[in-house]
Amino acid sequence: MGLVENTFLRAQLEDRRKRLQVASSEATSYTGLNRLLREVDSALERMDTGTYGICEECHEPIEADRLMADPLVCLCLDHLTSEQARALENDLELAAQVQRTLLPPNDLRAAGWNFHYHWQPFSMVSGDYCDLIYSKDGAQEIWFLLGDVSGKGVAASMLMTHLHAIFRSLTSRGAPPAERLSPAGKPVDAPAGNGGLSLDQLMQMANRVFCESVMPGQFATMVAGRAASDGRVEILNAGHCPVLAVKSNEIVALLSTGLPLGMFCDGSGEIQTVKLDKGERLFLYTDGLSEMCSPSGKQFGDDRLKHLLLESRALAPEALVSACLGDLKEFASGARPSDDLTMMVIQRTAT
């Protein structure tokens, strides 16, 4: 664990210590507070002696994402008591259920588009964010969002749910008056609905909010886009894998033009626009697909994916996702995925 993480965790523990002291001086009968206070003191002592983050049983490092989620853990996953393991499993199952309820409806058809996605956590919970935001009454445009939070496991899944909350609240409430102005102070021509935000504004605001709540080193690569009913799509790719536009005669890769969310509080990227005709589609994915390794250590890669997309042009979105999963399975020769995996197909259905 790096210096920055240790400094962050120490500050967290010292803050908790203060709060516990205040609470325990006011509550006379609840002994649980004193036990927690002893655990916090013990963790701070371990930091002083350089043994913090080391499993008390096997003396190997404890999983970093678990420390970030709970700075008091002192056993690695392999050495939890059966009671602790059961409690953790229950917590993870609950977290997994919560994450699944955050997913948008699958196979959504609206505004002349068909959206189909596949969201597959590496373990019980996922650090991949996948969302569709639209007005329920006759949507003229749909926001689509696909992101990948740095790291894996519990800490990444917590940031994924945080991203979900940020984008949902920004698109439902709209921008405060100042955000509706361009740098020159002139009103911005933002589209109606979905909070009245432009794509650029949405990403800038989401980045600022996300930046406030992550630790240094934590970030999320993201693709945010807006699909309009006339077939035009705006895309902002912030440090994420290319978005592949599968046109009738070619594949156009829309590469990243911005930095991942959470890296710098001030920043955005260039918006790219693409117009799709009936039957053409966009393919979005996380690196759990492109970086999946074969038994010999070769990566699945973009070239194999592009070849597959060209060959599968006649398939409907759901069948395309199945074909990708089938090809990935064949490529990996049955090896388990080593990362969260998400794919989204956005097909133009109207002329």
Q: Which is nearer to Zn ion, 58 or 319 (CB)?
A: 58
Q: How far is the CB of 53 from Zn ion (least distance, A)?
A: 12
Q: At 65, give phi and psi (nearest 5°).
A: -65, -30
Residue 311 near Zn ion by CB under 5 A: no
Residue 79 near Zn ion by CB under 5 A: yes
DSSP H helices in the chain: 3-26, 32-49, 64-69, 82-101, 153-173, 199-213, 287-290, 301-311, 317-332
* Cα gap 287→240, rounded to integer Å: 8
Residue 58 near Zn ion by CB under 5 A: yes
> Within positions 1 to 40, which residues make up the interface with Zn ion, using CB under 5 A?
none
Q: At 23, give phi and psi (nearest 5°).
A: -65, -40
Query: Which span sits near Zn ion by CB under 5 A: 55-63, 118-126, 129-137, 309-317?
Result: 55-63
Residue 180 near Zn ion by CB under 5 A: no
Q: Which is nearer to Zn ion, 73 or 320 (CB)?
A: 73
- Options 45, 57, 270, 311; binder of Zn ion; rule CB under 5 A: 57
User: Do 143 and 165 touch, CB atoms closer than 8 A?
Assistant: no
* Cα gap 111→137, rounded to integer Å: 11
Sheet with 341-348, strands from edge to edge, namely: 108-110, 113-120, 341-348, 281-285, 243-246, 251-254
Residue 139 near Zn ion by CB under 5 A: no
Of 258, 252, 253, residue with least CA distance to 224? 258
Residue 310 near Zn ion by CB under 5 A: no
Residue 56 near Zn ion by CB under 5 A: no
Q: Which is nearer to Zn ion, 74 or 132 (CB)?
A: 74
- Options 9, 43, 55, 209; binder of Zn ion; rule CB under 5 A: 55
Number of residues that bind Zn ion (CB under 5 A): 5
Place of tokens 């996605």: 117
Residue 85 near Zn ion by CB under 5 A: no
Residues of the shown chain interacting with Zn ion in the complex, contacts defined by CB under 5 A: 55, 57-58, 76, 79
